[in-house]
Amino acid sequence: MSTGKTSRDKHASNTNTKALLNIDQNHIWHPYSSIDGMQANYLVSSASGVRLTLSDGRQLIDGMASWWSAIHGYNHPQLNQAAQSQLAKMSHVMFGGLTHEAAIKLAQTLVNITPEGLNRVFFSDSGSVAVEVAIKMALQYWQARGNSKRTRILAFRKGYHGDTIGAMATCDPITGMHHIFNDILMKNIFAQAPECSFDEPWQESFFSDFELQFNANKDEIAAVIIEPIVQGTGGMNFYSPVFLRKLSEFCKANDVLLIADEIATGFGRTGKLFACEHAKISPDILCLGKALTGGYLSMAATLCSDAVAEQICSAAPGVFMHGPTFMANPLACAIAQCSIDLLLEDNILEGNALTRVAKIELQLKSELVKCRDLDCVKEVRVLGAIGVVELKQAVDMKIIQPMFVAQGLWVRPFGRLVYIMPPYITSKKDLSVLIDGIFQVLTQYQGTNLERACP
């Protein structure tokens, strides 16, 4: 009797999964995907710690932290409690003319922990919007100064800053994901990507193309935007802190705003609380997102100096012209505060999260190096809790994604990059499983797909 019921339940579960996936395929448009349904999606039924449980019961160790945001893992009891406590008070209230304790406390915390001088906090909905806000701040700043010619942003090739219109216009216009929109985007200026690797001895020539592009367009440039230390989606490139420090000094000397996009790097990912700390700099404008709420809710923040804020408000229209409906959502603010508290909290055995990131970095450097022996691998690089295996050719997602799932792992490559940004709570054992799984999958992949993967 018991066996029959279990069998019926399993059949019902399989039927329900197929029905749900059928609806998904017919009606939901996933990010960077076609509607032809050629690539299947995996149905997640629950998540806890560093594991995703699929509808068929399989568990996957998550190496992606849900696009780098779930730094404390999933279903965290303290984050859950923060959400429940705030929910009992109010889930949302408009931020125009009203304020609330959760936003006030979070703003104070962000001012306290970010680089010196970033005293004004503007909350928004997502990382892309945080960049839009930063760009608008820079443009309105110069309008308020009576200089209407400064309407362009100087960005870097291989950079990525988001998917909305203004943000897309600061992404690499040739190799980036948004080149098909070039004709309608704001015409910005692009300098060569930083060529100096993180530990490479400095050469002045590394900075020459930036100086060339700036000097040729200096009367039009409102701001320089850069991802500090790590160019993320544009290629997972790690570059020297010296470049960032020289860039900050140059911007100050030439009276141009510096925007630091720390949406991917903020909150410990590179081994520092913020990547700007590697170069000991403070930008004029800072963009935060992703890990801000520990992956629980979409939220972002754009911080700026008093000088930027005061200038913007000194001239007509006298206010900053932006206002998201869900700005400073109380539920997101409360969770974000709890997430930051967890990030900085010391415990007897492991210290704070930055201590755990340092341990992850050491293990990645020690164990991921074996991938260099594979013929299809071009380079292996590690910084903080970021491990990157760059291949010689782009992967075929339809082939390699099921291989990772079969290994019990959630790793989502893109282009030539097989990388992991695991939650900071990932144990040494689970990280070894992730690393060994990457090696096994790439070994299998180059064997079954030799001509395509390793020419």
Please give the Cα distance from 193 to 175 (Å, whole number).
12
User: Binning pLDDT at 50, 70 and 90, where does residue 33 land?
Assistant: confident
* Residue-level pLDDT at 14: 75
**pLDDT tens digits along 96-129:** 999 999 999 999 999 999 999 999 999 999 999 9
Q: Given strand 377-383, what is the order of strands in its sheet?
A: 377-383, 386-391, 417-420
- Topology, domain 77-343: Aspartate Aminotransferase; domain 2 (3.40.640)
User: Using one digit for the tens of pLDDT, what is the confidence trace for 407-434?
Assistant: 999 999 999 999 999 999 999 999 999 9
For residue 332, give Cα distances in angstroms to 49, 214, 274, 338: 20, 39, 20, 10
pLDDT at 455: 41
Residue 160 known to be catalytic: yes
CATH 3.90.1150.10-classified regions of the chain: 42-75+350-453
Q: What mean pLDDT do residues 266-273 have?
A: 98
pLDDT of residue 350: 78
CA 404 to chain centre: 22
Tell me whether residue 32 is one of the annotated catalytic residues: yes
406's enclosing H/E stretch is helix 397-406
Mean pLDDT, to the nearest integer, of 28-49?
Answer: 87
Catalytic residue among 290, 296, 419, 430: 290
Buried b (16+ CB within 10 A) or exposed e, 403-423: bbbebebbbbbebbbbbbbbb
Q: From the CA atom positions of the chain, what is the Rg in Å?
A: 23
pTM of whole model > 0.85?
A: yes
For 33, the token pair is: 């995907």
Average pLDDT score over residue span 321-347? 96
Q: Is the pLDDT of residue 301 over 70?
A: yes
Please pick, among 5, 32, 36, 199, the residue that the annotation labels catalytic.
32
pLDDT at 453 over 50: no
Strand partners, 260: 226, 286
pLDDT in tens, 43-52: 999 999 999 9
Instruction: Place 2 in a pLDDT band, splitting at 50, 70 and 90.
Output: very low
Q: State yes or no: is 290 an active-site residue.
A: yes
Buried b (16+ CB within 10 A) or exposed e, 313-348: eeeeeeebeeebebbbbbbbbbbbbbbbebbeeeee
CATH number of this structure's domain 42-75+350-453: 3.90.1150.10
Cα-Cα-Cα-Cα dihedral of 346, 349, 351, 356, to 10°? -130
CA distance 441 to 446: 9
Distance in angstroms (rounded) separating the CA atoms of residues 18 and 24:
10
Q: Which of 62, 261, 284, 430 is catalytic?
A: 261
Banded pLDDT at 9 (limits 50, 70, 90): low
